[in-house]
Amino acid sequence: MQPLALAFLVTVAIGGLLWVFVYPSLSGEKRMEARRESVARTTPTRTARIVGGKSRRDQVEETLKEIEQRHRASKRPPLNIRINQAGLSWTKQKFFMISGALGVAAFLGTLFFGMGPFPALALGFAAAFGLPLWILKFLKKRRENKFLAAFPDAVDIIVRGIKSGLPLMDCLKVIVGDTPEPVKSEFRTIVESQAVGLPLGDACLKLYERMPVAEANFFGIVIFIQQKSGGNLSEALGNLSRVLRDRKKMKAKIQAMSMEAKASGAIIGALPIVVMLLVYLTSPDYIALLWTESLGNLLLAASAFWMSCGIFVMKKMINFDF
């Protein structure tokens, strides 16, 4: 039984590390950033009205280049920013203490069950360095989904307020008072930043640093350009609201269309484990060779590895970015 547990723990530890450190580079984010940069470098094809020695198009281009440089500088945020993006108020010292405690607990727990020092070290390493980062990523994704669910309504509040004659800051204060979290806290940060002297356009651009989603980036760019170059803010935000709602509908449509593939992937992934359990319940001596013989342990480890590869491939095929 001990070799089986050893093979299983080592496989889980390696899989967890690959999931945390390798999968983000294979998720297509780099290709998406390259495509976004290529669109941002598109040259204008027509001239615009000259205002103050520069055309408004030139002013917008300079603003977009400035925003792009800021985003490049913050492409890999430090740990404290990632903690804030997850909605936690921890310090880096507290995060490291919790990571160390998880690693020690996993190490001692593995030794307590008699698994040996090697699987204890492997599981402790995975719990200390992989599990906290995975938790941060999970909390960040959940917070982003909550933000995207309420963000179009917040933009509509600004549009209706501006059309009725309210200043932009008053509209932002209405959002702080009436919208759910995390939209409320993010817009409260914008209002507080502007109150201490930060320009409103810069304060809105910093929203993308705390909430790294495309919708927050769109909103920051619209406000920043309007503050620098002028224009009809209600019309621009009205167009942005329609874009946000169309993106939300598209995301829901993609999820609905991919649910059949996700269900098929879940069934295929669970089928070997279910069959193994049923065979063990009906004929335990027949399948016991897998964990009583060294060759059986090797086959179990190889099967777990290839099954994990197949699950990752299926996950990549049924998850769509747009």
Helices (H), the chain: 2-17, 23-26, 29-40, 56-73, 79-85, 92-112, 117-125, 131-163, 168-178, 183-195, 200-205, 207-210, 214-229, 233-282, 284-287, 289-292, 294-318
For a pLDDT cut of 70, what percent of the chain falls above it?
A: 75
In this prediction, residues 180-203 reach a mean pLDDT of: 87
User: Among residues 231, 235, 144, 234, which one has the least CA distance to residue 182?
Assistant: 144
pLDDT, average across residues 70-85 = 72
DSSP state of 293: S
Query: The tokens of 175 are what?
Result: 């959002």
The larger pLDDT score, comparing residue 56 to residue 114, is at: 114
Mean pLDDT, rounded, for 107-118: 80
What amino acid is encoded at 300 in this protein? L
Give pLDDT tens digits for 261-272: 788 878 888 888
3-state secondary structure of 126: helix
User: pLDDT per residue over 295-321, tens digit each?
Assistant: 888 888 888 888 888 888 877 777 766
pLDDT for residue 137 is more than 70: yes
Burial 280-314, CB ≥16 within 10 A → b, else e = eeeeeeebeebbeeeebbeebbeebeebbeeebeb
CA distance 217 to 32: 14
- In the beta sheet, which residues pair with residue 51? 54
Q: Which residues are CB-neighbours of 188 under 8 A, at least 6 positions away? A: 176
For residue 132, pLDDT beyond 50? yes
- The Cα 66–Cα 55 span in angstroms is 17
Residue 244 has pLDDT above 60, yes or no: yes
Question: Which one is predicted more confidently, 316 or 322?
Answer: 316
Place of tokens 């001990």: 2
pLDDT for 54 beyond 60: no
Q: Record the tokens describing residue 299, joined without a space.
A: 């086959």
Per-domain boundaries in the chain: 2-37+53-318
Confidence label for 139 from pLDDT (cuts 50, 70 and 90): very high
